[in-house]
Amino acid sequence: MSLVGAFFTLSGVGTALAADLKGSISLAPEEVLISGDKPYSGQFDLREQWGDNPQLTLTRLVVTFHFRDNDQWQMKERRGRPEKDGRPLRTVVKSLVGSEAPALEQRYSREVYNIYSNPIEVARLQIGTDRFFAATSRRRLEERHDHGESRSFLGLKPDPETGNKVAAYSVTRRTLVEQWDGYADQFSIRNKILSLDALLDLAEDGVLPFTLDGDGDYLLVGATLDYEGYAYPGFNIAAEEEEEVALHVPLGLLGLIGGGGLFLVRRKTEQRKRHRRETARQKYGERRLAEHLAEQEQRELETAGQTS
């Protein structure tokens, strides 16, 4: 987490201090295998940076998830029938003693196919009410490999020109054809902006859970959450009851904020926090939520100063 810049507001005896908040958190699991039957649940946990009860307002969350297909290609073999290459050819063959004799040679070509397939993998990400999808890309490829020739003796057959019986042979040239037609390689859910519900969920306690499932099976390679917002002064104290907390401002800021080094911040119960969020969502909407919350914090500080 990094704090960049700051602005200060002074009103009566209450003082509000807020700073720009911007940062990211990354997850690098050991390539978790995920499928529709084996969903994966994880979370972005910022409690170590923010504490258990962060005093902040989030204005933007962006997530990116990277996946990889597990490359389980299925292979089927298909053998083609030998195809004649023209008519029999007259040729000459050598005997064991080195003499030459006429012969007939019928040439064939035969292809053997190894066909590889891999079904599409679809990743489905759910964060609260937000849902995003990504899928593997189709890959098509063909390679041909010459596997040489094989010769077989067919016996003695009459020569079409002379009528004499000569040795007849079949010569077959073999070709292996490998074909890939399927879905593979890496794929991603990139730069997806999360909704207001996710902003409020993460700001509540510093934890943002997510779930991954989908069609087929794939590997989770990594994930990143980028966040922006404003941070407010206060201790990270989880309070179930309403309480007043004395907040000491560093001495270096005393001259800037005009005097008092001690003021009271009235903290709300969890129930009242949720009510405040719902009211803000309905009345102001997502675009004005941050501004509204900042104004309400200012009014609370003023009230706390007047009653102290």
Q: What is the pLDDT of residue 299?
A: 67
Do 202 and 67 fall within a single domain?
Answer: yes
| Number of independent structural domains in the chain | 2
Last residue of a domain, one of 151, 183, 215: 183
Q: What is the pLDDT of residue 307?
A: 58
- Run of H or E residues at 142: strand 137-158
Do 65 and 193 fall within a single domain?
Answer: yes
Containing domain of residue 223, as a range?
Answer: 2-71+189-307
Last residue of a domain, one of 155, 183, 211: 183
Do 65 and 33 fall within a single domain?
Answer: yes
Do 229 and 253 fall within a single domain?
Answer: yes
**Run means of pLDDT, 10 residues per run, the chain, 308 residues:** 28 50 89 90 92 84 94 88 84 75 88 92 96 94 90 85 85 92 93 95 93 94 94 50 32 31 34 53 54 65 63
Do 157 and 293 fall within a single domain?
Answer: no
- Run of H or E residues at 230: strand 217-231
Q: What is the pLDDT of residue 87?
A: 83
Model confidence over 98-119: pLDDT tens digits? Answer: 778 888 888 999 999 999 999 9
Q: Which of left, alpha, beta for 71 (phi over 0: left; psi -120 to 50: alpha)?
A: left
Do 67 and 129 fall within a single domain?
Answer: no
Do 211 and 256 fall within a single domain?
Answer: yes
Do 67 and 207 fall within a single domain?
Answer: yes
- In Å, what is the CA distance from 30 to each residue of 33, 67, 193, 219? 9, 12, 26, 9
Do 56 and 196 fall within a single domain?
Answer: yes
pTM > 0.85: yes or no? no
Give the whole-angstrom CA distance, residue 241 versus residue 273. 12
Do 104 and 159 fall within a single domain?
Answer: yes
